Amino acid sequence: MNSLPVKQEDRHPIGIIAEIHGPVVIIDCDRLPPLRQALCTRFDHTVYMFEVHQHLDERHVRAITLHGTAGLSRGLTVYDTGAPLQLPVSKQCLGRLLNIFGEPLDGGSPLPQTEFRNIHSKPLALSEATGISGILQTGIKVIDLLCPFVKGGKTGLFGGAGVGKTVLVMEFIHAVSAIHQGVSVFAGVGERIREAHELWREMEQAKVMSDTLMVFGQMDESPGVRFRVGLSALTYAEYLRDTLHKEVLFVMDNVFRFVQAGSEVSSLLGRMPATVGYQPTLTTEVAELQDRILSSRHGSITSVQAVYVPADDMTDPAVSAILSHLDTTVILSRDQASKGIYPAVDPLRSGSHLMDRHTLGDRHYNVAESVREHLARYEELEDIIAMLGIEELSERDRKIVMRARKLQRYLTQPFAVLAQHTRQTGVSVPLEQTLTDCEAFLAGDYDDLPEAQCYMRGSMQEPA
């Protein structure tokens, strides 16, 4: 439910600051505010916001600050805003950089404060929500073929530094804007200031910023900010879905930092750690975020979430909690990148829960499975080829290896967002054309074509 925040002059004193422990503040209250209520105090012309996280007794609450605590002192009067944290929302938010409070980070004018939304809004009612509705084509061959995005679904992007994760995210945003005339919301959770600035500039140069909103909770900010910035960005995505009735791509980088911020908050609140030191509320916090990524009859939210895997352990409790909500998993491989295969998607480890005939149709399913079989067999034979040479393989295996190598190169393509760096025009390939090309490779139609002519191009029908 939308409501206007209470103005400063109308706010009611609720108590005073009793103790300050880093980003945690204990407030002596005349009456207990509800959990998640936004409180504030004023010092030296600066307003400090708090969020209530614990009731300690009949008079005291423990709150997390959403700013630095420098300048705060015991005895300062605390005011009740009358609601959880509210954000100003407007169609003019597209093309902007904002912080957790909806305030500009790009030096532009503030958003018009005519309508506000609660960052803790409930998910859509089941009667209003719609399920998945087919594939969201990206024009990226390897994604659309082997690990397709599901419209209204959630995709996890797993990759370390230097394998092209940010470039792939930018190309997704470009595809949603160019192919589907949609909009994107980027949530930067715990981003380094340098990374955030570079990403913003690259998005501007790629000309995708006009249909994008970026919300940042930076690495040097309070754990309370990093913990809630994802909800702030999701609130904007819900607003754009409900008002523009468009395809909204919600990109979150990085979900693991959201979990880490929750772990910090949990420790500050004095909770006993659970499995592997994570907070006992881990699954609840992840579910609270994921359950709001829903589509309605009027618009949809499709999510792409970058996930850091600690020590490459996919059984880590945080990774498992996130994985349980994902429909598609895209694994970026350093081995692929070292071979010059970009995008560096690992075709054998990536996949989707919806890779079945009912969702994809018989043709797409059969082609995808055949391509995987060829690539898997090539991987099995790589050691033999390295030791004995390809001549020692049977004629059938030689044919499979030859076709797999060409398919591997065919699944690369130049990106539109990198055109000014690579001097190659970015290409977008419709899924139907990708299936046609792959069927031709599997049937042997391109057996006489040099491998180099399959690399970094769009459709095989287009000139190399």
Does residue 231 contact residue 120 with C-beta atoms inside 8 Å?
A: yes
In the 8-state DSSP scheme, what is residue 41? E
Question: 87-108 pLDDT, tens per residue?
Answer: 999 989 999 999 999 999 998 9
**Percentage above 90 pLDDT, the chain:** 60
Would the pLDDT of 364 be above 60?
Answer: yes
What are the Cα distances from residue 284, in Å, to 15, 131, 281, 318, 363?
Answer: 30, 22, 5, 11, 39
Point out the catalytic residue in the list 31, 74, 192, 201.
Answer: 192
What are the Cα distances from residue 319, in Å, to 269, 354, 357?
Answer: 23, 20, 28
CA angle 88, 90, 94 (to 5 degrees): 115
Question: 112-168 pLDDT, tens per residue?
Answer: 888 999 999 999 888 888 877 788 899 999 999 999 988 889 999 987 777 888 888
Q: Is residue 165 annotated as a catalytic residue, yes or no?
A: yes
Classified as helix, coil or strand, 357 is helix
Point out the catalytic residue in the list 62, 141, 154, 191.
Answer: 191
Q: Which residue has the higher pLDDT, 113 or 86?
A: 86
Residue 53: enclosing H or E segment and its boundaries?
Answer: strand 46-55
* Peptide bond preceding 254 in cis form (omega within 30 of 0): yes
Task: Give the sheet arrangement for strand 183-191, strand by strand.
Answer: 97-98, 212-218, 183-191, 247-253, 300-307, 154-158, 328-331, 351-352
| Arithmetic mean of pLDDT, 370-399 | 92
Average pLDDT, the chain: 90
Give me the residues paired with residue 117 across strands. 87
What amino acid is encoded at 336 in this protein? Answer: Q
Classified as helix, coil or strand, 4 is coil
**Residues present in the chain in total:** 464
End-to-end C-alpha distance for the chain, whole angstroms = 54
Torsion of CA 280, 285, 287, 291, to 10 degrees: 160
Does residue 19 contact residue 71 with C-beta atoms inside 8 Å?
A: no
CA distance 179 to 138: 8
- In this predicted structure, what is the pLDDT of residue 390? 86
CA angle 49, 53, 55 (to 5 degrees): 120
Give me the residues paired with residue 116 across strands. 88
In the 8-state DSSP scheme, what is residue 209? G
Question: 245-263 pLDDT, tens per residue?
Answer: 888 999 998 899 999 999 9
Point out the catalytic residue in the list 154, 165, 226, 257.
Answer: 165
For residue 355, what are its two tokens?
A: 């890779």
Q: For 143, phi and psi rounded to 5 degrees? A: -70, -50
Q: pTM of the entire structure?
A: 0.90
For residue 86, what are its two tokens?
A: 């509210």
pLDDT band at 313 (very low <50, low <70, confident <90, very high): confident
Question: 444-459 pLDDT, tens per residue?
Answer: 999 999 999 999 999 9
Contacts of 156 (CB under 8 A, 6+ apart): 255, 305, 306, 307, 322, 323, 326, 328, 329, 330
- In this predicted structure, what is the pLDDT of residue 5? 53
* Peptide bond preceding 110 in cis form (omega within 30 of 0): no
- In this predicted structure, what is the pLDDT of residue 462? 83
Contacts of 356 (CB under 8 A, 6+ apart): 365
For residue 41, what are its two tokens?
A: 């105090």
Would the pLDDT of 376 be above 50?
Answer: yes
